[in-house]
Chain A
Amino acid sequence: MRQGWPDWAKSPLIGFGAMIVLMAVIPLLSGQSPAATLGDGRLWLVLLVWAGAWLVNAWLAERARGRLSKAVVAAFFGLTLLLIWELVARLYAVPEVILPSPSRIAATFAANLGTLWIDFVQTFVKGALTGYVIGCAAAFLTAVLIDRSPFLQRGLLPIGNFVAALPIVGIAPILVMWFGFDWQSKAAVVVVMVFFPVLVNTVAGLSASEQMQRDLMATWNASYWQTLFKLRLPAAMPFIFNGLKIATTLALIGAIVAEFFGSPIKGMGFRISTEVGRLGLDMVWAEIAVAALAGSAFYGLVALIERRVTFWHPSQRH
């Protein structure tokens, strides 16, 4: 029979103890009496909720085996964070202009669905998605074109790698100046941002097939294009999708940040910067929720297509 506390309960309990010690030590270090924090019922409530949720989570995690039960652990943790946020915002009456509570944000979200949808269409569908498609297509075609010339590859790849590390969002003000305030300039920023990651990954992918496989194609008298479509492109797909997945996040960032430099009176970036100026932080958080949902849904969609296309790849086997 096991003695004392089970293993999974140790870290929550140690963490809880450490937080109580901190409650006493931090005021002492700043030269105040610890009585104020130790006598603060609100703080105790928050701490108890946190420690209780942590215990439950540790217990759940100990038993989680399948995919579904693991997802439950993650979801429970997310809900705990929201609950703590709500508690802190309510108990301490945090001003709305600093941190609105989740319930308040949800209410704002529900009340402004129309505005949020207009912003979503303007920034995501028109700006990010258009730019994403154009940029990825251009990068893919460029990669296939320079594929036949080792000289161009050796010249373009280091430059592509270099540019991929640069703060490309910085060209947003220039492109806004060239293409105007509407979505065209946002799409242009997105095109430039997604181009190099996709290019570099596609070129790397096109050289991923093995010499033996290419020799086999040669013995079958396959033409360059046959080898490309039947062997090298399928073999390149895991790399290409890696680039495409990186590009989803970049696309949304580019479209939102470009709107900080000028936009019509709609769009997620526009709404964020103006509502921040008016201290309407609940609306800002609602826009961020839209951005988070759109970002993860976009990524999830590309990952889903990847699973369909590269079902043969070891990383996709379960």
Chain B
Amino acid sequence: MRAALPILAVLAVIVALWYAATVWMNAPWVRDQAARAGQEVTTSQLVRETMSQERPVLPAPHQVIAELWKGVTGQAVTSKRSLVYHAWVTVSATLLGFAIGTGLGILLAVGIVHNRAMDLSVMPWAIASQTIPILAIAPMIIVVLNSVGVQGLIPKAIISAYLSFFPVVVGMVKGFRSPDRMQLDLLKTYNASQGQTFWKLRWPSSAPYLFASLKVAVAASLVGAIVGEMPTGAVAGLGARLLSGSYYGQTIQIWAALFMAAIVAAGLVFIVGGIERATLKRMGLVR
């Protein structure tokens, strides 16, 4: 409760600021309409009008929540109008890409740790590639794969995999190297093979690093899937909702899709965090 109070206070301030901004940003349109109709607007009228527009410059929080609620519960979850349906389209691509990217990332990290040539030749590029705006190639991947006949889930998953790949490689190389000299020497005195050293020492000690990079990777995968949905011409998914909302000026729809994306992101990170806590607890790494 003590920890929640400051957070709630800050949230309350944010919501209050949001309402103030709603009135301020939507007021010109209301005044304009009233002037055209030759009417005067009172302050209370102005405030009421600014919060019930159909295409506001900035929708009020309750409008967004209402749209979100309508999108989630208003129809069957398989309907094209359901936000759950669109969220699922995005999440399935995210999870597939996340699984592929993480798997390949761990494999590459294993290779880098055990092979000097790979370490020296691949690792600098893996690090450098993190400074490159990889997301910029998303439209190209989508269109190229489309032209060779691959559509739907796979291209988005490839972008997600690509984005989650490098954080995992960099994090896991650090993790596999985290055992210190003394521990490695101990295993050498036991005459442990390279495989035994990996499974009994390197792999367990990399767990904290694994989860830290998984949290980054899952958030990056979601961004990849959302951006991957944009160039295909807005068929389905949260990215498509954002794009079609922006084409037709449906600001409430954009904000609802944004909130849905935020909820999904928070959910994914929360799940990874939960698995992290449970695993590290069983391993005795946290009390």
Residues of A near any B CB (own CB < 8 A): 8, 11-12, 54, 57-58, 60-62, 64, 70-71, 73-74, 76-78, 97-99, 151-156, 158-159, 162, 165-167, 169-171, 173-174, 176-178, 248-249, 252-253, 256-257, 260-262, 268-269, 272-273, 276-277, 279, 281, 284, 287-288, 291-292, 295-296, 298-300
Contacts and interface: CB of A to CB of B under 8 A. Distances in A.
Contacts of A273: 139, 231
Interface stretch (B95-103, B116-124, B186-194): B116-124
A169 B132 contact: no
Contacts of B255: 174
B251 interface: yes
Q: Across the A-B interface, give the 9 residue pairs with the lowest CB-CB distance, nearest first.
A: A77-B121, A155-B6, A173-B246, A155-B10, A299-B131, A61-B117, A154-B6, A58-B117, A74-B124
Given A165-B266, A167-B226, A295-B131, A177 B246 contact: yes
B266 A272 contact: no
B144 interface: yes
- Select the residue from A173, A261, A281 with max chain B CB neighbours within 10 A: A173
Given A159-B10, A272-B139, 9 more contacts: A60-B117, A74-B124, A167-B261, A170-B238, A176-B246, A177-B246, A248-B131, A249-B131, A253-B134
B259 to A, nearest CB: 10
B136 A272 contact: yes
A269 B122 CA distance: 28
Contacts of B139: 260, 272-273, 276
B110 to A, nearest CB: 13
Interface stretch (B79-87, B204-212, B215-223): B215-223
Nearest to A161: B269
B7 A169 contact: no
A165 B258 CA distance: 13
Taking chain B's interface residues, is the majority helix, strand, or loop, or is none over half, making it mixed?
Answer: helix
A246 B231 CA distance: 26
B7 A261 contact: no
Contacts, number: 166
A169 B227 contact: yes
Contact of B249 (A70, A167, A177): A177
B125 A171 contact: no
Given A151-B9, A165-B269, A296 B132 contact: yes
Contacts of B9: 151, 155
B223 to A, nearest CB: 5
Contacts of A155: 6-11
Among B11, B139, B269, max chain A CB count under 10 A is at B139
